[in-house]
Amino acid sequence: MNNILDIKTPAETQASARKPDFGLENHGLVNLNRVYWNLPSEALYEEAIFRNEGKITRLGPLVVNTGKHTARAASDKFIVHEHTTEKNVWWGQYNRPYNPDKFNELVDRVQGFLQGRDVFVQDCYAGADPNYRLPVRIITEHAWHSLFARNMFILPQTNEEYRQHVPEFTVIAVPSFKAFPQMDDTASTTAIIVNFEQKLCLIANTHYAGEIKKSIFTIMNYLLPLEGVMTMHCSANMGPQGDTALFFGLSGTGKTTLSADPSRRLIGDDEHGWSDDGIFNFEGGCYAKVIALSASAEPEIYACTRKFGTILENVVYDPVTRLIDLDDDQFTENTRASYPLDYIENALPEKRGGHPKNIILLTCDASGVMPPIARLTPDQALYHFISGYTSKVGGTEIGLGEEPEITFSTCFGAPFMVHHPAFYADLLKRKVLRYGVNCWLLNTGWVGGAYGVGKRISIRYTRALLNAALDGSLDAVEYYIDPVFQFQVPRSCPGVPDEILNPASSWPSQDGFMKRYSSLASRFIDNFKKYEEAVPQAVITAGPILQA
């Protein structure tokens, strides 16, 4: 809402109560109408409703609609090409170079655009480890985006800490501002541009809150590896004996669901760092997919969709009863819930854990040929980490349809990796070897045939396999060597039918199975060629072997 009439708003008298000494004039933002500094969730609810940004549903969640953009605009992301980043950034499809002069012109226009308007500010941190945390400032047009930032990042604990907060990186999210491609050299009217020299990120013409979250992740992915910290697109939890487990995977492969285990303590659901002191969450909240969420299969996440403070993006609701319908995908398959981490009852308040005992690489195999679980050598783990094979699930990126699309997303998060994949892989290898980590490939995709023929593996079986890997039950069973990928596959697992463990046995034709498996192996090999010059030979040979 552009408050040009200067209408009194619900939180107007509290707008400056948590104003820091480091003001917005330091970002070139002047002549603003009113700045709402670090409002709590309750006040942001009042402002969001007053401004007609969303609706309150039964038991308190705030439902919002993001309009045209219901997912990340991956093709609209840029990184400013300047002397501090020129030799470090993995330039290409995901890190498109942007002219620094064009960036300055764009920022000038945004600064002018915001004059006379209300803005909301959240001063917070990325990184639960105080040795590596990054003070950030999130400046938004909308109250609900400010609530999102408050949910997702780590908050100062005292008024004095707010007063002294000085951001080391700033995000300005202006969804009503449109770029001009012909003038700004952007791909469309939407733009997500990171400038590491100016420590500034600009997000324009998208209401999708995930852009704020992933921009901070991109920033951390650039800065921390330069300090020897492994940055990871993974969830993490801790067992009763203090054993930490990491779950790598793209959106929709099960990171959030599998890490939210009632028998284990949740460290975080999406983004983590691995330093010499152990694992730490980058965030203070969760951003879970909630389409077709089940109260029986995912009770912890389901419960969060019924809590005050949760933001539900593009979730359908009844305007009369205010009941939500998590099964309705009329807006998008990528419906989301943003909520503070402590809404999960078994979450670790410190958001930190020790060095991992197990690493789980999650994949969603739409071909229906990969085993549901396999034990990996360190070199095999690096091969699959660099490959990042999965199937993109409809809705997580603009342009995806309903049917899963086979893809390779290096490091299980290529759009957010700023350095070359080999740089992250080298960091991971040194830590895996140093701390003796067990590595597994867990397939949450299809069994009994490819998508459209077989069916997606039951989450009950996936959890049984995962629990057996984490508690050591799979250490005592017999394994066979996979004929294509050479990793070890268990012949049995408590609570899982043997035919599930051997995908070939559930296919109607063995020739059809091997033809499909060999085809997938060929795609692995072709994809990996782009990385071969930068990785050791031992990792290259740890990949699949085509049958003669």
Q: Catalytic site residue 255? A: yes
Q: How confident is the model at residue 260 (pLDDT cuts 50, 70, 90)?
A: confident
Find out whether 441 and 462 touch, Cβ atoms under 8 Å. Answer: no
Find out whether 378 and 385 touch, Cβ atoms under 8 Å. Answer: no
Find out whether 344 and 304 touch, Cβ atoms under 8 Å. Answer: yes
Mean pLDDT of the chain: 94
| Structure confidence at residue 454 (pLDDT) | 81
For the chain, the 3-state helix, strand and coil shares in percent, each to the nearest 5, are 30, 25, 45
Between residues 175 and 269, the one the model is more confident about: 175
pLDDT digits (tens, 9 = 90+) for 99-108: 999 999 999 9
C-alpha distances (whole Å) from 109 to each of 97, 113, 405, 544 are 20, 6, 38, 51
Percentage of the chain modeled with pLDDT above 90: 85
3-state secondary structure of 386: helix
How far apart, in whole angstroms, are the C-alpha atoms of residue 547 and residue 324? 51
Given 9, 215, 256, 259, the catalytic residue: 256
pLDDT digits (tens, 9 = 90+) for 117-138: 999 999 999 999 999 999 999 9
Q: Catalytic site residue 296? A: no
> What are the residues facing 140 on neighbouring strands?
120, 173
Q: Catalytic site residue 68? A: no
| Structure confidence at residue 402 (pLDDT) | 56
Given 214, 355, 375, 516, the catalytic residue: 214
How far apart, in whole angstroms, are the C-alpha atoms of residue 203 and residue 297? 36
Instruction: Outline where 224-351 has alpha helix (H).
Output: 255-259, 299-304
DSSP 28-89: T--S-SEEEES--HHHHHHHHHHTTS-EE-TTSPEEE--TT-SSB-GGGEEEE--TTTTTTS
Kindly report the pTM of this predicted structure: 0.93
Both tokens assigned to 355:
């060095």
Given 27, 72, 165, 355, the catalytic residue: 72
Q: Catalytic site residue 214? A: yes
Given 270, 329, 379, 482, the catalytic residue: 270
Find out whether 102 and 12 touch, Cβ atoms under 8 Å. Answer: no
Whether the per-residue pLDDT at 282 is higher than 90: the answer is yes
pLDDT digits (tens, 9 = 90+) for 443-471: 999 987 887 888 889 989 999 999 999 99
Whether the per-residue pLDDT at 57 is higher than 90: the answer is yes
Q: Catalytic site residue 233? A: yes
Q: How confident is the model at residue 397 (pLDDT cuts 50, 70, 90)?
A: very low
C-alpha distances (whole Å) from 522 to each of 260, 391, 392 are 35, 16, 19
Q: Catalytic site residue 213? A: no
Q: Catalytic site residue 8? A: no
Whether the per-residue pLDDT at 400 is higher than 70: the answer is no
Given 233, 264, 357, 516, the catalytic residue: 233
DSSP label at residue 138 = E
| Structure confidence at residue 5 (pLDDT) | 64
How far apart, in whole angstroms, are the C-alpha atoms of residue 100 and residue 104? 6
